[in-house]
Structure 1
Amino acid sequence: MRRILNLTLADLKNVRRDPMLIMAIAGPAMLTLVFRFVPPILTEWLTQKFGFDLTAYYDLILIFILQLVPLMIGMVSGYLMLDERDENLIQLFAVTPLRKSGYLFVRLAMPVLLTIMFTILLVYFTGLIQIKVVQLLPTILLLAMEAPMMALFLVSFAANKVEGLALSKGIGIIVAAPFAAYFIQWPWQIIAGISPTYWVAKMFFADSHSYENTFFLTVSLLMHGALMWYLFLTFQRRLD
């Protein structure tokens, strides 16, 4: 436990020295504050000015900002792992009592915990929609899987932090998948199905007690699990 705590404290020091990482880790908190106060004001203005009811799109707005959380948090973890890989620290951790498995646990568990915390905070502090915790659990599970996926993606395919930044910007397009699921007619929207975020959005929009919800949850779990396993194996090969 003390070794894990030491590694976590070292992470905080590394993040503190990099303004970009500070913004990425503070991003979910900023999103929470913005979407707590801005939507009601904007909704009232749009209603009075144009007769447009923004509340009809609150579920879309919510799933969009929720998808940003694991992206930002996973990016931070991925950058830290890229730094440690470039400095051969991962190999060093592998021969310490922490071992490679302990190192990987810390690197992937922390984004999971932070994503869960910020997801719950975003949903219930912003108050955009009313949803029971039981109904939210599948979404929390899938979003929590996306954070370590993002970290593994960066450390598996980026040669350094510069490439990692470019890749993180490119992969950011996947947060647009909920808009495809919401606005594009079937079957054209299925093109967005190559993104795991599409299936999460489809599940989120479906009635929680419907067969559709179960189907989309099953597909999401299978896709997230397969991608996680593939990225983990790619990361392992990159280290060897």
Structure 2
Amino acid sequence: MVISQILKTDTRRILTDPFMIFMSIAPWVTAIITKAGWLYMNKHYPDITLDPLITSLAVALLTPMNIGIVLGFQLLEEKEQGVFRAISVTPLNNDYYLFYRFAITVVIGSIMTYFVHEILGLISLPLVFLLPVILVATCQIPLQSLMIASFARNTLEGFAVMKGTGFTLLVPLLVAYFFSDYSISWLAGIFPFFWLIKAYQFAINDQIGLFIASLSVGISYTLLLCWILFRYYRTNALK
């Protein structure tokens, strides 16, 4: 009952907000356009070398970030409307309410990420590799949403936070593209998305031990950051 009501409310909010609609359909549109562009370039400009790894990372595995942004603005709007103060005095307290929100979006994000990755079809991975990578990717959903909802006091500040956190995604991608063969690249490990990139690379190269290690670090580090932000959100952002 609670989950169905949350889904109805979120769906209504998304369908009435142009920005939310854009962020929700952007991964699908981007994947289709990228796939078409990739096929066109390979057919008409075969001498130009394209990197399927970076393309897949930038399109498919960033899909959870879009979902996290949507959820972050939803939480921010609810904070402005005093929803959390009302929930705190009901049997469904804020902790359970946020757990429901994160669980629902992680499930949706996992499905979306899988299909966007397959629509691109640039890199083929067995499910035993792809599904754990998607799991780590979807951990970015609560992280991204909590960054927006915790540090922004209104929608305008939410956009500023969203833009400001873009470098946490851009830097690891640039490092993976330009410095992946250098030991200095590991300095980018302070960004959680870096470990997703490394796991994806190790999966492609069939390096099982390093794949498992990167997954473990990635999910542990991301969940630690989520826990820290969640505590901040409860103690400061909901005042």
TM-score normalised by structure 1 residue count: 0.90
Deviations 1:1-47 (A, max 9, x none): x2321222111222222211110111122123223322111222221
Aligned length: 234
Q: Does 1:129 align with 2:129?
A: no
The farther-off stretch of 170-179 and 194-203 is: 170-179
The correspondence of residues 152-167 of structure 1 with structure 2, limited to 5 A, is 152-167=146-161
CA contact (8 A) 2:77 2:155 kept: yes
Q: Which residue does the alignment assign to 1:72? A: 66
Q: State whether structure 2 residue 24 is matched by structure 1 residue 25.
A: yes
**Contact 2:61–2:134 at 8 Å: present in 1 too?**
no
SS across alignment from 2:195:
helix
1:94, CA displacement in angstroms?
Answer: 2.5
Q: CA deviation at 1:145?
A: 0.5
1:181 corresponds in structure 2 to 176
Name 1:224's counterpart in structure 2.
222
Counterpart position of 2:88: 94
Query: Would you say the 8 A contact 1:202–1:216 is kept in 2?
Result: yes
**Corresponding position of 2:192:** 196
Identity %: 27
Q: Secondary structure at the match of 1:231?
A: helix
Aligned position for 1:36: 35
Letter in 1 for 2:196: V
Matched letter for residue 19 of structure 2:
M
RMSD: 1.7
SS at match of 2:166: helix
- Say whether the 8 Å CA contact 1:79–1:151 is kept in structure 2: yes
Counterpart of 1:96, as a letter, is T
What does residue range 55-70 of structure 1 map to in structure 2 within 5 Å?
57-70=51-64
Q: How many Å separate the matches in 2 of 1:208 and 1:167?
A: 37
Check conservation: 1:158, 1:167, Cα contact below 8 A.
yes
Matching residue's letter, 1:186 = Y
Match of 1:6 in 2: 5
SS in 1 for 2:45: helix
Instruction: Return 5+ residue gaps in structure 2 as ranges.
Output: none
The whole-number CA distance in structure 2 between the counterparts of 1:85 and 1:30 is 31
Q: How far off its partner does 1:105 sit? A: 2.1
SS at match of 1:76: helix
Shift of 1:152: 1.0
8 Å CA contact 1:60, 1:179 repeated in 2: no
Q: Which amino acid aligns with 2:28?
A: A
Tell me, yes or no, if the aligned pair for 1:203 and 1:212 is still in contact at 8 Å: yes
Contact 2:102 2:142 in 1 (8 A): yes
**2:35 touches 2:119 (CA, 8 Å); kept in 1?**
yes
After the TM superposition, which parts of structure 1 deviate over 6 Å for at least 4 consecutive aligned residues? none
Please give the per-residue CA displacement for 1:199-226, whole angstroms capped at 9, x wherever unaligned: 1101111134433223322221221121
1:97 Cα deviation from its structure 2 partner: 4.3
User: Shift in Å at residue 53 of structure 1?
Assistant: 3.1
Higher normalized helix content (fraction of residues): 1
